[in-house]
Amino acid sequence: MTAAGLFTPILFLAITHSENLPPLKPQASRNILLNRNPGFDTADARAWRFSDWPPRKETSDRLIARSIFYDEIEKRSGKTSLCFDLGTVGPDRFLGVRQMLDVKRLRQHNGKRIRLSCWILLASGSDVHTAHTGIRLWGKSGQPPLSATSIRMQATRGKWKYFERTFTLHLGKTGRADLKVGLRTVPTGQKAPVCFVDDCRLEALTTPALSATLLSGKIAMSPDRCLSARIEVGDSEWKAGIRRLRWDVTSPDGLQSFAHGSLDLLKPASIVEPALPNLAFGAYGLRFALGSKRGERLHETLKEFRYAKGPFER
């Protein structure tokens, strides 16, 4: 039987109870960071190069330093963020930052899933402003990029917004690569915005120690009394024999358990069907814990869901 078709009968049974659970321990990310100084926290790291485009004769390091600079006040995380003051340059121009990427390091992840992500905040000016971030793969010098992957980011005034895109890395004949963030200025007569960018990351995605996906989405409907989930265990955990899975139907924060069950997984990718106790309509959580023996919680994840009245409920 395939992993996708693996059903474990013990999961149709649940021990109904009321139990306080220990705090959920978040799993540390095992993704591999591929760019330097993603949080713009080290101004002297020289990972990012600033530019004003198209180039002008009067452009200087001093001018760009007034247009793009590290800021300690408006930051999403870490020590500083990067500020783009579009009021310092004329209309129909770009302010941008760029970082050259290590192609040899990228080749270690060729063919793998990559995530590009970034946070942006519009501090003043118009209510919204558009920016772009992206990775470009280049071949021979003087030629256009072989390929590019980008994100259109719409900044909202007064609120940090997160944008991400995942893609498969295909390097081909790539000789060099770069990561960039760019903002276009506004036409004459419009108030020029000031934007902040933080946590611009390029990561190779790896399988976490324990991941769970609810196959029915975030809603379970009565009169159904089970909830299907796909469970995946990381390669290193599986080889180490960490295969004991416990599930709990919980409060939304995962701290109060109403029913639970457990079993030893037979494959690293399995379909399980935790049984639901008698639940009032409302918000709940499905908490999974992985260990090498009964009761052990080495790795955990929580999936929120709602129990709602279904169309066939009498």
DSSP at 108: T
Residue 10 is predicted with a pLDDT of 39
Query: Average pLDDT in the 29-42 region?
Result: 93
Residue 14 is predicted with a pLDDT of 63
| pTM for the predicted model, two decimal places | 0.72
pLDDT digits (tens, 9 = 90+) for 146-191: 999 999 999 999 999 999 999 999 999 999 999 999 998 877 667 8
Q: If you compute the radius of gyration of the chain from its CA atoms, what whole number of angstroms results?
A: 25
The rounded mean pLDDT for the chain is 88
Q: Please give the domain boundaries of the chain with CATH numbers for all domains.
A: 3-28+207-308 (2.60.40.2550), 32-204 (2.60.120.260)
pLDDT at 35 exceeding the cut of 50: yes
Query: Average pLDDT in the 196-225 region?
Result: 92
In this structure, the strands spanning 128-138 and 176-184 are: antiparallel
Query: Average pLDDT in the 87-115 region?
Result: 91
Q: How many CA atoms lie within 13 A of 233 on its CB side?
A: 27
Q: What is d(CA 134, CA 150) in angstroms, rounded to the nearest whole number? A: 4
Number of H helices, E strands in the chain: 3, 20
Beta bridge partners of 248: 260, 287
Please count the residues of the chain.
314
Span of 98-102, 159-163, 189-193, 291-295 with lowest mean pLDDT: 189-193
Which pair of tokens denotes residue 126? 């118009």
Burial of 221 (0-12, 13-18, 19+ CB in 10 A): middle
